[in-house]
């Protein structure tokens, strides 16, 4: 199969991390399009290694004025109302097509595509800016496939633009099987749950425990988002049940008041891997909207060789052997009992963690996910 020309259409998160990654990149390597804290970074690397031509259109940059990533700041989620949240909520109630800045962004995307001539438009989820009619025009002008990639439920998170364009998606990639079924109900031609998250052996590997901040050294660690509570209530409750242990929480967003004493900062990219490598046990509780399971941390934690305890979701036992590669819990009492047991049994904990690392290296790499996507496109 001839390598594709892939145009990513995405919102840039963690722009500061992208700028840091660009500065650290070897001069012989291509300038990265995505920060190492975003999963698209590893798809980009796998595609480049396979000989693909790749480019990106940042849909969250303003349509008018300088389209400069340095103008962006990372979003920080907080509970409660604020003037900014109210204004954003009112804007979201308006049809996107009446927003002149959005119309300009759609025009710029069409112009970028004419220069690049994509064979695939890789559209990341949470799209509120790009119109269905723009995607239709891209397909008409370039004969390209549209791959829609989303890690969240369309019932909970999607915007009208995303739902109205579902019939145009040639392939939807999800990391929760149930989300794929929902996109099919909305009209997508095909949905698959490889899952789309995986590991890159050149990035996801155990980090040295020497010379790390002392805060990183704790019995139980969690890295992720905890607000709003309506979407992460089970995750918050799991952490609250462990407050009598040596618990560390890393999040760039607000942390519920009950867990603030355990908040130790935030960790993105390589720093996140240093945190995961330093803790004895990584707690992985999925968001309330992921009933099948399959978040990024499931694979990243295994790749750095850290033992993880995961909430019992169907996908976990599909992709891993429970008891051999990781351990699941059913309720808070079960979680506390297993945490205590594995803290007291170092050899068993380390054996399971080592088996998990070997497993993801053999079966859950981004190059393997890319080969699966190629096969799916070949079947279309």
Write the pLDDT tens digit of every residue in 305-347: 999 999 999 999 999 999 999 999 999 999 999 999 999 999 9
- Tell me the H-state helices in 225-269: 229-240
pLDDT of residue 27: 83
In the beta sheet, which residues pair with residue 55? 7
204 within domain boundaries: no
User: Which residues constitute the domain of residue 14?
Assistant: 5-198+365-379
Residue 371 shares a structural domain with residue 359? no
pLDDT of residue 81: 54
With bands split at pLDDT 50, 70 and 90, how would you rate the model's confidence at 85? very low
Predicted confidence (pLDDT) per residue in 53-76, tens digit: 999 999 999 999 878 887 776 555
Predicted confidence (pLDDT) per residue in 186-208, tens digit: 999 999 999 999 999 999 999 99
33 within domain boundaries: yes
Alpha carbon separation from 15 to 36, 59, 71, 267, 347 (Å, rounded)? 10, 13, 9, 14, 40
Does the N-terminal peptide bond of residue 195 adopt cis geometry, omega within 30 degrees of 0?
Answer: yes
Residue 223 shares a structural domain with residue 107? no
203 within domain boundaries: no
Predicted confidence (pLDDT) per residue in 86-110, tens digit: 555 555 666 888 899 999 999 999 9
For position 162, which CATH number holds?
A: 3.40.50.2000
pLDDT of residue 357: 98
DSSP string, 53-74: EEEEEETTS-SSS---GGG---
Orientation of helix 132-142 relative to helix 100-116, angle to 10°? 20
250 within domain boundaries: yes
With bands split at pLDDT 50, 70 and 90, how would you rate the model's confidence at 130? very high
Q: Note whether 319 and 356 are within 8 A (CB).
A: no
Residue 105 shares a structural domain with residue 181? yes
pLDDT of residue 2: 59
pLDDT of residue 189: 94
Q: 74: Cβ–Cβ under 8 A, 6 or more apart, which residues?
A: 13, 14, 15, 16, 252
Sheet containing 53-58: order of strands = 53-58, 5-10, 120-124, 145-150, 171-174, 191-192
Residue 246 shares a structural domain with residue 332? yes
279 within domain boundaries: yes
With bands split at pLDDT 50, 70 and 90, how would you rate the model's confidence at 26? confident
Look up residue 323 and give its two tokens. 């008891």
How many angstroms from the chain centroid is the CA of residue 84? 25
Nearest to 207 by CA among 270, 267, 266, 277: 277
pTM (predicted TM-score):
0.92
């Amino acid at each position: 199969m001839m390598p594709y020309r892939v145009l990513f259409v995405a919102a840039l998160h963690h722009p500061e991390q992208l700028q840091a990654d660009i500065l650290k990149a070897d001069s012989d390597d291509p300038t990265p399009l995505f920060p190492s804290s975003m999963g698209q970074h590893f798809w980009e690397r796998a595609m480049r290694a396979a000989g693909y031509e790749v480019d990106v259109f940042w849909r969250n940059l303003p349509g008018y004025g300088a389209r400069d990533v340095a103008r962006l700041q990372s979003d920080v989620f907080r509970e409660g109302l604020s003037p900014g949240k109210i204004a954003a909520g009112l804007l979201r109630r308006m049809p996107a097509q009446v927003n002149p800045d959005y119309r300009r962004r759609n025009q710029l995307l069409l112009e970028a595509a004419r220069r690049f001539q994509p064979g695939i438009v890789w559209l990341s989820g949470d799209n509120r800016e790009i119109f269905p009619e723009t995607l239709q025009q891209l397909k008409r002008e370039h004969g390209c496939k549209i791959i829609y990639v989303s890690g969240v439920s369309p019932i909970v998170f999607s915007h009208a633009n995303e739902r109205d364009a579902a019939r145009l998606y040639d392939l939807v990639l999800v990391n929760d099987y149930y989300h794929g079924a929902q996109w099919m109900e909305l009209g997508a031609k095909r949905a698959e749950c490889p899952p789309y998250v995986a590991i890159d052996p050149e990035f996801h590997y155990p980090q040295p425990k020497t010379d790390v901040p002392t805060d990183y050294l704790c019995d139980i660690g969690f890295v992720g988002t905890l607000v709003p509570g309506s979407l992460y209530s089970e995750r918050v409750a799991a952490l609250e049940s462990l407050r009598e242990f040596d618990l560390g929480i890393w999040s760039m967003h607000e942390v519920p008041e009950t867990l603030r004493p355990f908040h130790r900062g935030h960790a993105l990219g390589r720093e996140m891997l240093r945190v995961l490598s330093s803790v004895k046990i990584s707690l992985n509780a999925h968001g309330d909207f992921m009933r099948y399971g399959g978040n990024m941390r499931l694979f990243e934690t295994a790749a750095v060789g850290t033992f993880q305890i995961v909430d019992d979701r169907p996908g976990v036992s599909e992709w891993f052997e429970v008891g051999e590669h990781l351990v699941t819990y059913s309720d808070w009492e079960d979680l506390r009992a297993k945490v205590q047991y594995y803290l007291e049994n170092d050899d068993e904990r380390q054996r399971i963690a080592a088996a998990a690392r070997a497993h993801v290296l053999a079966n859950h790499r981004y190059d393997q996910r890319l080969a699966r996507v190629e096969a799916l496109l070949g079947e279309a």
